[in-house]
A and B are shown apart, each in its own frame.
Chain A
Amino acid sequence: MSQGRTGKINYRCPECLFREVDYDLLYEKELDQYYCRRCNWEGNEFEILRLYSVYKRKYKDMLKRYTVEDIMAKDE
């Protein structure tokens, strides 16, 4: 097993992301697998992206545009 390297894309550990810690994953080429040196997460790119989309669920209005008028109109 060779040393872990940064992958083509510098993904952060999704599990660490959930507890608000940014920690870069390492990539193990032989297994086509990413792993975290901090916690016990490992997985492939698909799993990373799936968990990122779960993470984003907290931003329910992530794609909503709030203009000045919208913000003024919010309950006061």
Chain B
Amino acid sequence: MDKFILNLIHRPELIPEYIDTDAQSGKSEELSKKEVVTESLDIFRLQQQIAHDNGLKTTIQMTYASLFNEECCELARQYNKEYGDEIGHTFLGVNCKEFREKHKSKELAMWLFPMDMKIKIVEDSFERFKDVFGFYPTSTGSYFMDAELINHIKEKYPMVEIAVATCFEEGPKVFRHANYSWYTLMDGSPWTAWVPSKKNSHAIAENDEDDSGIVAVPHLSRDLLALMDNSGDMFGTHPQNIIRGLIYEGDRLPYMYNLVDQYQVMKKFNKGFSYNLVYVGPGWMGKAGRWECEYRVLKKSYEDFLAYYGLLKQEGKIEDMGMTEFAKWFRKNQPRSGPICGLWKDIVFGTKNQAFWYADSQFRVQIDLKQGGAITDLRPYASKLTRPCGAGTAANQDASYPFIVQSRYRAGAFTHYAGEGAIKSCKVRYKGEEIDLSSCRSTGQYSEAQGCRILTVKPVEIEFNDLSIKLQTTYTFKENTGEIIISRKIVDSTSPQTKIEVDEFLTSCWGTTEYPEDMTGCLLAVVGKDGSRNELSYDYRCREFGAENINHVEAIIPQVQTKVSLTPENDNCGGYYEEGYSFAPNLKIGITKSIELNQELITCLKVEQAK
């Protein structure tokens, strides 16, 4: 397969969010001011024209407000007739006089309404759409849609085939970036198209029973390396993201093209398939400019951006589709449960840094190659957490899928005083010296085997006082099993017969943000070859246990219904657990073995649902 697909979505929002903000703070007198609507529609027309001039078809996602504007509806009909643009639906842009009168709320985020209101809004909006266009939409979306909302829509309107279901990795970093006032707290989904689970829309569906019946796509395609330590809203396939990040000079935005080209490279890791989503409203392209950027540059950035997609289309390197057309293609041509992979290389900071991402129905894993190939983010999809969001739910605004490893929110390899942060890494020890592989910068190579995706980390050199070794790490992801086989092999040594202790460990906690959550009641266990079991219930008492010749070590985090274990394939391995304490609120499990040149410690990391 050689397929790079573009979904280009235009949202004719009549009261763009930034104007709405002004209105609510008293700066604007009248929400439905004629000139605002006129300018918004003019921008929509211009965006459509730019797309069509470059030979690209769009999906027009009609907002609630736009469904009450006859001019806008007529425009959508014309574009559909003349260019084959899909007329779709969105839950963004609900704010307008009609909505406020009917639903008596200033809430603007569909995923945050109470469920009873979500149900009413779905019906109101879809029926209005039918009244206007004579058919129900087959595509919809919002910045986030939880499984409960998707399931309801699919039950009531089974013709819906696809939805923009998340803003990829818009979580605490984006919340902070927007001065703690942009409530898209939704870390943890796949970064490209996926079939969402019926139980949790972040997670990839496992089977028929778990299949929500739609295809989900992320709002924008984002830089998989930049957003690990930066706010993702500066690094996506939307010129405004890039302008907001000040990643431009004058009217030059080469990073915009670099992003698209790196997504072309993603075909290499996904059996020839890659995907881009561009989704713009009118708010950023007003005559008054956006951020510090003047209108001329905004307009030119969009013209240049779509011209590049147009060029790729002419060259046969990309195919533009409507959202529903893409959903049908995806269902026919892509495996429901993944996996999806990406070995992403730095294209903006000027480093050799790389990150590897993997997702299937059991987990989403992020590996930071500059940290020696440590796992720095792990979301346990296997547990398929029921976690509805919105008013009246326990999660409310916190729509993220919880992690069991997050090295940036939870310290990772570097802590300021005590304890260890959340990370999956490895330490090597020799004569009292200890080196954490996360301090050994490396790069990776991707390969495939039957039922497996493999990341091979370039060997790193580790220097002790009187010994030097080269150690190679290999991650083998056994597709849709929740298992990663991790190999640590000594491939070179200045003293071939000298044994070095390898400590394959996981430091874990759970949460969705930077702040610690309650670990009380987590279970830690070391299980011997003879079936003997030493376990404890987490209570912040800094207890530890270790044993020789173990079968495996495990941790159960009941708060996220997740069990994680490390099982060595070698004989005669040691194993341990460490409880942690309140200033270091993580749990730790590990496997140890001493190896010499050409020997390897092979461990299976397994993530599963805790019963």
Contact = CB atoms under 8 A, between A and B. Distances in A.
Interface of A: 9-12, 16-17, 20-23, 38, 52, 55-56, 58-68, 70-72, 74-76
B595 to A, nearest CB: 26
Interface in B321-362: 343, 345-352, 354
B261 interface: yes
B289 interface: yes
A64 B265 CA distance: 17
Among B249, B343, B446: residue with most chain A CB under 10 A: B249
Contact of A21 (B177, B247, B264, B351): B177
A63 B254 contact: yes
Contact of B291 (A10, A62, A75, A76): A10
Given A12-B292, A65-B254, 8 more contacts: A9-B292, A59-B246, A61-B346, A62-B247, A66-B258, A74-B345, A75-B458, A76-B343
Contact of A62 (B173, B348, B352): B348
Given A9-B292, A66-B261, A71-B347, A22 B179 contact: yes
25 contacts: A12-B291, A17-B246, A20-B176, A20-B231, A21-B176, A21-B177, A21-B179, A22-B177, A22-B178, A22-B244, A52-B246, A52-B292, A56-B247, A59-B348, A61-B255, A61-B348, A62-B255, A63-B252, A64-B258, A65-B254, A65-B258, A68-B261, A70-B261, A71-B258, A71-B265
Nearest to A72: B265
B443 interface: yes
A74 B231 CA distance: 25
Contacts of A61: 255, 346-350
Nearest to B226: A59
**When A and B form their complex, which 6 residue pairs have the shortest distance between CB atoms, in order from nearest?**
A60-B350, A66-B258, A61-B350, A65-B254, A66-B347, A74-B345
Interface of B: 173, 176-179, 230-231, 244, 246-249, 252, 254-255, 257-258, 261-262, 264-265, 268, 289, 291-292, 343, 345-352, 354, 443-446, 458
Contacts of A21: 176-177, 179
Interface centre among A10, A21, A55, A71 (most CB of B within 10 A): A71
Given A9-B289, A38-B179, A76 B254 contact: no
B177 A76 contact: no
B349 A59 contact: yes
A60 B264 CA distance: 23
A66 B446 CA distance: 20
Nearest to A17: B246
B23 to A, nearest CB: 15
A65 B304 CA distance: 14
A10 B284 CA distance: 13
Contacts of B444: 76
A6 to B, nearest CB: 9
Contact of B173 (A20, A58, A63, A66): A20
Contacts of B347: 61, 66, 71
A32 B345 CA distance: 44
A51 to B, nearest CB: 11
Contacts of B352: 74-75
B200 to A, nearest CB: 29
Contacts of B244: 22
A55 B346 CA distance: 18
B261 A71 contact: yes
Contacts of A9: 289, 292
Given A67-B261, A68-B261, A76-B443, A20 B291 contact: no
A38 B446 CA distance: 46
B292 A11 contact: yes
A65 B289 contact: no
Contacts of B350: 59-61, 64
Nearest to A62: B247
B348 A71 contact: no
A59 B349 CA distance: 4
Contacts of B178: 22
B284 to A, nearest CB: 12
A7 B350 CA distance: 34
A60 B247 CA distance: 10
Contacts of B291: 10, 12
Contacts of B348: 59-62
Contacts of B354: 74-75
Nearest to A76: B445
Nearest to A56: B246
Contacts of B458: 75
A53 B385 CA distance: 44
B443 A20 contact: no
Nearest to A61: B350
A64 B352 CA distance: 14
Contacts of B292: 9-12, 52
Nearest to B442: A75
A64 B349 CA distance: 10
B225 to A, nearest CB: 12
B247 A59 contact: yes
A44 to B, nearest CB: 15
A68 B246 CA distance: 23
B179 A23 contact: yes
Contact of B349 (A52, A60, A68): A60
A52 B349 CA distance: 16
Contacts of A66: 258, 261-262, 347
B443 to A, nearest CB: 5
